[in-house]
Amino acid sequence: MGKWKKKHLIDVTDLSEDELSGVLDLAAEFKEKGFGREPLKGMTVANMFYEASTRTANSFAQAARNIGCATLNFSKGSSSVSKGETLGDTARVIEAMGVDGFVIRHSAPGAAKLISAIVEGAVANGGDGRHAHPTQCLLDLMTMRGNNGGFKGLKVAIIGDILHSRVARSLMAGLGKLGAEVAVAGPSTMMPGTLPDGVMRLGGIEEAMGWAKVLYFLRIQLERQGRPLIASLREYHETYGLTAERMGSLKREQLIMHPGPVNRGVELAARSADCGAARILEQVANGVYVRMAVLYLLLSAAKGREVSIG
Amino acid sequence: MADLLIKGGRVIDPVQGLDKVMDLRLGKGRVVEMGERLAAGGADVIDAAGCIVAPGFIDLHAHFRQPGHEDEETIASGAAAAVKGGYTTVCVMANTDPAIDNEAGVEFVRKMADAAGLCDVLPVAAATLGRGGEQITEMHRLRKHGAVAVSDDGAPVRNAALMRTILSYAADAGLPVLDHAEDPELAGDGIMNEGEVSDITGIPGVPQEAESVMVERDAALAGLTGGRLHVQHISTGASVDAVRRARGKGWNVTAEVTPHHLLLDERKLETFDPVYKVNPPLRPAAVRALLLEALKEGVISAIATDHAPHRDEEKELDLLEAPNGMASIECAFSVLYTGLVEEGRLGIGELLAALTSGPAGVLGLEDRGSLAAGKRGDVTVIDPAGTWVVGEGGYASRSSNCPYAGMRVKGVVKATVVRGRVVYGG
Ligand SMILES: [Zn+2]
């Protein structure tokens, strides 16, 4: 049993094992019993989305409303996020409107950290460049825990573009912290030179399927084709995708996860996203609970209210 | 103007192999003599007891931003920062707006420097018009009007055939080519060294080979043309190997290293602080050690600051948008002295050579870089025991993007003398 003290969530690496479990427990409580706590009435969360992401933005907005907060939405191209203003200026302006918490999604690694050093309010990183995506990690952990019970001995294979993925970076860190076994597979053109301690590289998808209980497929960024790292999407599907044929050879206990949105026919065969092994919609649902828990804890800490965790 | 007598200092002149407590007399802008207990006569006197008396520092690589970005630096503010750092000669790069690519630009830089009246500011002209990488500049004219070298610094020369032409043509004009060696495609969207830290942080990485393949290419072209190639801000072991090999073949190739590549490493980027964003990027600690070895060996013959001032509010830009560069000219000696000499990793004579005779040799500046009689009266007096905090009390530069801000350092520039005249301290 401890008290939650942090008002910023930049990456899961900032959280102790107890804090990680604490967020997951709180999210599970919200999922099972609904939000039975005193709503954070009168508080406002600003969603600053410099990168297009309807999904994450909506999930955060829904989460904020569920815990009693109002939301303000700023997206790239809206007048408040204007050219010539530094990120710091924009954050100050938004804070001056009476905002208590910030969710920021940005293409620059370190963007959330930069804002957290400037504003008084709470800051949740909604994804910063290739660096980190802590709430995605937390919702993935929640989904894995819900399906597996715990992390001891859980084998997770992350498949795809590890090098350019904040999802992979945060997930490797979070799973490592909780004691799961983690491996990666993907084209060498999409692999970092060094992997975190304890993370192994598998030879390919067949090896991953033979080894892992959870097969976590990363979304291929189609828009990265300006600097091509793979020959074609069809070859990627054949080499690293969950083809219809591979789907047929899945073992009963194996799970398919994906951060979404799925490129059907690329990472996953057209039908496999809907198969019994897929936990993709469950991930989306858990995303709201996890973000409720994160916003609730961060905003409470920012206002000096004590919340017990663990 | 009265003579200047610098009394009782430890005079170190690497060229003459000199390290001895003596007096030094300057007159008519030149070094007159040195010896023990020289009579003052009517000379002004600087008491240099306990201080090091060295040839004035020469910086081969600075950005003074004028014309075009006077909010970041001007030739006058840059020169003020330079003399505060003990520099008596500074070469300024041509990546201004407009670029210094014709004789009017070169004359402008010299005129502004004269008006400032602090240190010697030597223009490096662009190698191609507008630094556009297409049409070479009028290098004979540029030299006549005062350019000491050509460089498209900030932008690499992508086209190998053009680089061949530049080296060949500049050699005819008697100018060295200062080379920002970088393969832009290989560097891609990278903003830090590619390696362990970029893998962990997700900050886009630049492989060391983005530099070294270009150093290999340009060294080969120096061999082909007989041109005079100087590699700017060298930052990898493979680049050093390429320079060493080229020199072994008798080709005209030299290299400079920056203070930050000797003192800082890629781990600084774990903070995501844009003050550590620089091109070429900070490398792993092991490479830092290699560069120091190459400096001691003589493969690298100069330390050049690559002083690159940026507006303060740019610190609040995100890491992708933030500009490259560090402003360091006013603390370069002190951070080097503290980090290398005080730590026993580099001799004071070696450091001073890299700041004086080394860079003079790169540009063939025969009138400076030594305290021999008849040389320019450019002298830097340093109190090696004094300490100060970088940035405390502000900067002479218009910018404060200094990665050493807040560091307590040893080595205080007590006086900077240009052509026998005290331009800083005293
Ligand atoms: Zn450069």
Please, which residues have CB less than 5 A from ligand 1, an ion? B 153, 180
Residue B372 within any structural domain of the chain: no
In CATH, what number is assigned to the domain containing residue B39?
2.30.40.10
Residue B404 within any structural domain of the chain: yes
Residues of chain B with pLDDT under 50: none
Computed over every residue of chain B, the mean pLDDT equals 97
Indicate whether B346 and B199 sit together in one domain: yes
Domains and CATH numbers, chain A: 2-132+290-304 (3.40.50.1370), 134-284 (3.40.50.1370)
Indicate whether B107 and B212 sit together in one domain: yes
pLDDT at site A280? 96
CB of B272 less than 8 A from some CB of A: yes
Computed over every residue of chain A, the mean pLDDT equals 93
Q: Determine the residue among B191, B269, B319, B321 to mutate to test chain A binding: the one whose Cβ has the most chain A Cβ atoms within 10 Å.
A: B319
Nearest to A110 among B194, B313, B319 (CB): B319
Whole-model pTM? 0.93
- Model confidence at A226, pLDDT cuts 50, 70, 90, reads low
Residue B263 within any structural domain of the chain: yes
pLDDT above 70 (res A83)? no
Partner-chain contact A113 B272, CB within 8 Å: yes
> pLDDT for A98-123, tens place per residue?
999 999 999 999 999 999 999 999 99
* A:B CB pairs within 8 Å: 67
State the DSSP string of A8-57: EES-GGGS-HHHHHHHHHHHHHHHHH---SPP-TT-EEEEEESS--HHHH
Closest Cα to residue A182, out of A146, A139, A137? A137
Among candidate residues B3, B23, B306, B383, the one labeled active-site is: B306
Residue of B nearest to A131 (CA): B202
Residue B414 within any structural domain of the chain: yes
CB of B185 less than 8 A from some CB of A: no
pLDDT above 70 (res A234)? yes
Q: Specify the long-range contacts of residues A12-20, CB closer than 8 Å, at least 24 apart.
A: A12/A132, A12/A134, A12/A137, A12/A138, A12/A170, A12/A173, A12/A174, A12/A177, A13/A132, A13/A173, A13/A177, A15/A177, A17/A177, A17/A178, A18/A309, A18/A310, A19/A309, A20/A138, A20/A141, A20/A174, A20/A177, A20/A178
Indicate whether B35 and B173 sit together in one domain: no
Indicate whether B63 and B48 sit together in one domain: no
Indicate whether B105 and B37 sit together in one domain: no
Whether B306 sits among the annotated catalytic residues: the reply is yes
Tell me the chain A residues in contact with residue B319 when contact means C-beta distances shorter than 8 Å: 108-111, 114, 129
Q: Which of B341, B363, B385 represents a domain boundary (last residue)?
A: B363
pLDDT above 90 (res A174)? yes
Residue % of chain A over a pLDDT of 70? 96
pLDDT at site A75? 80
Indicate whether B28 and B163 sit together in one domain: no
Nearest to B202 among A87, A89, A129 (CB): A129
Residue of B nearest to A197 (CA): B200
Q: Which of B337, B363, B389 represents a domain boundary (last residue)?
A: B363
**Cβ–Cβ < 8 Å for B317, A86:** yes
pLDDT at site A77? 63
Nearest to A110 among B195, B200, B318 (CB): B318
pLDDT at site A271? 82
Q: How many domains does chain B have?
A: 2
pLDDT at site B37? 93
pLDDT at site A74? 86
Q: Determine the residue among B194, B199, B267, B310 to mutate to test chain A binding: the one whose Cβ has the most chain A Cβ atoms within 10 Å.
A: B199
pLDDT above 70 (res A149)? yes
**Residue B228 alpha carbon to ligand 1 centre in Å:** 17
Indicate whether B101 and B225 sit together in one domain: yes
Indicate whether B234 and B277 sit together in one domain: yes
- Residue A301 has phi, psi (to 5 degrees) of -65, -40
pLDDT above 70 (res A172)? yes
Residue B371 within any structural domain of the chain: no
> pLDDT for B273-305, tens place per residue?
999 999 999 999 999 999 999 999 999 999 999
Partner-chain contact B318 A106, CB within 8 Å: yes
Residue B258's domain comprises: 56-363
Residue B308 within any structural domain of the chain: yes
Helix (H) or strand (E) holding A96, with range, is helix A87-96
Q: Which two tokens stand for residue A261?
A: 């949105």
CB of B312 less than 8 A from some CB of A: no
Q: Which of B334, B363, B392 represents a domain boundary (last residue)?
A: B363
In CATH, what number is assigned to the domain containing residue B92?
3.20.20.140
Indicate whether B36 and B106 sit together in one domain: no
CB of B186 less than 8 A from some CB of A: no
pLDDT at site A87? 87
Indicate whether B238 and B162 sit together in one domain: yes
Partner-chain contact A195 B199, CB within 8 Å: yes
CB of B209 less than 8 A from some CB of A: no
Indicate whether B232 and B255 sit together in one domain: yes
Residue B339 within any structural domain of the chain: yes
pLDDT at site A1? 66
Distance (Å, whole) CA B202 – CA B191: 11
Indicate whether B329 and B358 sit together in one domain: yes
Residue of A nearest to B316 (CA): A88
Partner-chain contact B196 A113, CB within 8 Å: no
pLDDT at site A82? 54
